[in-house]
Chains A and B, each alone.
Chain A
Amino acid sequence: MNIKGKRYTRRDIIKGLATVPVAGALAYGLWRKSRYDRYRSGRLSKELNMSEPVSFEPPKTRGGDPLRIGLIGYGIRGEQLLRAAGFAHPELLQSWKEYAAMDSQDKRYSDFLEQDDLNIVVKGVCELFDVRLERASVASSNVGREGLNGKMGEPAKRYGDYRDLLAADDIDAVIIASPDHWHARMVIDAARAGKHVYVEKGLSRTLEEVYAIRKAVKESGIVFQLGHQGRQTESYVKAREAIDKKILGKISLVEVCTNRNSPNGAWVYDIDPRGNEQTIDWRRFEEPCEIKHPFSPERFFRWRCWWDYGTGLSGDLLTHEYDAINQILGMGIPESAVSSGGVYFYKEKEHYVKEVREVPDVWNAVLEYPDRDLTLLYSATLSNNRDRDKVIMGHDASMEVGSNLSIYACPESTRYKQQIESGLIRPEVPIYSYIPGRKDVDAVATATEQYFAGRGLLYTYRNGRRFDTTHLHIAEWIDAIREGKQTSCNIDQAFEEGITAAMATIAYKENRKVYWDRDKEEVV
């Protein structure tokens, strides 16, 4: 045989092509597999009818005059919020730059630089600890977003009394990151002064304050955002869609948790040795308190541990979990709440200076929604950091929600009975998973993908940008002010959060079941 001038015997042809049939067999196998995958995905996605991934908005350009911001409180969270708004202390950025130079995996500095420019200026900062006030002022002027010796703008004016900051004409909006016992006064005064408000959670320290805050905000018409940055989490949006499409069947139990296991996580923060009666305005710090205490750096720096200033796990961490579920299920204020717990771990000598904390470090709350045939269970410990996802349990399926989302059919489901029997649905394999940033939601995620995603190893970047929900949450508030729109965690959402947390706190402190009278809007 002649092919292009070459001559082959029959033996050459047979031996040359001997393994081609094997390739044919593989092609056939591959065709069968992809047909089965397509069939399974197609059947499932038809059954579940979930939509495309959440569209990812490109960075906005925010033109016009810069919005003028004031910051009240520059503790740990205040510093984080100011940074999420675009202003960080040069020393911090310098250290991040140096870490990045040593370790190319350290992306803190480059992530910070990639944050959108919100077109804001910080005109005023207020803080009761001189050292922090100074730092806040320097951070606010770091317009070049550089380390030491970078381009600095005009530093924000320093205020010792927030009322003076609110009275300033050159401030349009305030970010409030004070301890909880100050929230109500500050929000109400800011609203009355016509300043837009971003306030950290928990909304308030007491029940009465929740009503007062809502009244002031509604009357003023300001743009209000409560600091539950979880509102920006993509997977919650998909979770809500799955609920709306009734994929889980009738939901009767929701379990949410907090697990932490470090002094910082338990609010046993470092006590700054520079903090003394000359550098801290202690009298003003305690101004809202009914009972005044002698100067205590421990109380000042670790205020979350005492009822005088905060509400412990309730306002601090139950609220995050509650708000996430309220965003997904929209169930509002519970009909009743009980809670119990205690100071079980942080009572040893090494955990305090002079005073053992008052707020529990192990605490569980049960919120009942009989009108929805639903219980919301919150379980928290500050001395173990086992990873417990939020789980929404329905008759037909369970949904695990973290930064990813997985839905597993229940083996005894009514809706999926047939598909389980036919093998289309296997209860141990998710019928639906949502991994943020994934190109295609219809295809069933492979086991490999599940493993990597579950450990946060997939899609930590979206379009090359790592997402920081706090930055997105502040950006949403700033944009809402500019465009006259509503925020996602507005005063109505905040009211539900505030009342719910207050009910759970009262249940613990008064050791009783607490009820919500929906018609009278009263806690009884």
Chain B
Amino acid sequence: MNRPTFKNTQLTVLVILRVAIGWHFLYEGFVKLLNPNWTAIGYLVDSRGLFSGLFQNMATHPGLLDVIDFLNIWGLILIGMGLMLGIFSKAATYAGMVLLLFYYCSHPPLLGVEYAMPSEGNYLIVNKNLILFLSLWILALFPTSHIIGLDRLIFNRNEKTMQE
């Protein structure tokens, strides 16, 4: 498999970016896990834009909501671990992109659209979810976990390559 080679500074920045996004995901996941009252219902009901019907529907089915809460919490934690520790990083990166796409589509920062939860900045079309999504895309194209990360120990080495 052709993997990009990096200069040291390039590698360093990419790894820092990966770990930072991982930290962000992991912390979000754990905070939700530790709060027994956390549920996605408010966020989902507050959805606007083209796909709002879909997200609002998710909120109104109590059974489905439990599944969504569970998937969101553990999705965030596993994606965060994957990025931070560089373990199954490729899967974590793509899964993170899917999750961010959901967040973005449920709360698109469109002109004239207001949300219950005030944001700390000002956004039009482009928001932090979109930037994070694009950042993960970069990480998907320039993977580093086979160099710095547990993937190096899992995928990189086998007896064959060691005998080179």
Contacts and interface: CB of A to CB of B under 8 A. Distances in A.
A420 interface: no
A278 interface: no
A20 B26 CA distance: 13
Contacts of A105: 53, 56-57, 60
Given A26-B23, A448-B42, A443 B36 contact: yes
B142 to A, nearest CB: 16
A352 interface: no
Contacts of B84: 19, 22-23, 26
Interface stretch (B92-100, B127-135, B147-155): B147-155
The majority secondary structure among interface residues of chain B is helix
A15 B156 CA distance: 12
Contact of A445 (B27, B37, B117): B37
Contacts of B19: 19, 22
Nearest to B34: A34
Interface in B58-80: 60, 62
Contacts of A107: 60
Contact of B152 (A15, A445, A449, A453): A15
B159 A6 contact: yes
Interface residues of B, number: 40
A16 B116 contact: no
B35 A443 contact: yes
A43 interface: no
B161 to A, nearest CB: 9
B42 A440 contact: no
Interface string A1-21: 001011110001101111110
Interface string A431-454: 000000011100101101101110
Nearest to B15: A19
A457 B116 CA distance: 9
Given A8-B153, A12-B157, A455-B116, A104 B34 contact: no
B154 to A, nearest CB: 8
B31 to A, nearest CB: 8
A393 to B, nearest CB: 27
B37 A457 contact: no
A30 interface: yes
B148 A452 contact: no
B50 interface: no
Contacts of B147: 15
Contacts of A17: 150
Contact of B37 (A7, A22, A26, A443): A443
Q: How large is the interface on A (under 10, 10 to 19, 20 to 34, 35 or more residues)?
A: 35 or more
Contacts of A15: 147-149, 152
Nearest to A110: B60
Contacts of A20: 85
Given A19-B84, A30-B27, A452-B42, A7 B159 contact: yes
Contacts of A39: none
Given A19-B19, A26-B84, A451 B150 contact: no
A345 interface: no
Interface in B78-133: 81, 84-86, 116-118
A518 to B, nearest CB: 45
A451 B118 contact: yes
Interface string A330-355: 00000000000000000000000000
Contacts of A26: 23, 26-27, 84
A15 B116 CA distance: 44
A461 B44 CA distance: 14
B1 interface: no
A458 interface: yes
A5 B159 CA distance: 7
A452 B117 contact: yes
Contacts of A453: 42
Given A443-B35, A443-B37, A445-B37, 11 more contacts: A6-B153, A16-B152, A19-B148, A22-B23, A23-B26, A451-B118, A452-B43, A452-B116, A455-B116, A458-B42, A461-B60
Interface of A: 3, 5-8, 12-13, 15-20, 22-23, 26, 29-30, 33-34, 37, 104-105, 107, 438-440, 443, 445-446, 448-449, 451-453, 455, 457-461, 463-464
28 contacts: A6-B158, A7-B162, A8-B153, A12-B153, A16-B86, A16-B152, A18-B15, A19-B85, A19-B148, A19-B149, A22-B23, A23-B81, A23-B85, A26-B26, A26-B84, A104-B53, A104-B60, A105-B53, A105-B57, A439-B36, A439-B37, A449-B42, A452-B46, A452-B117, A453-B42, A455-B116, A457-B46, A461-B62
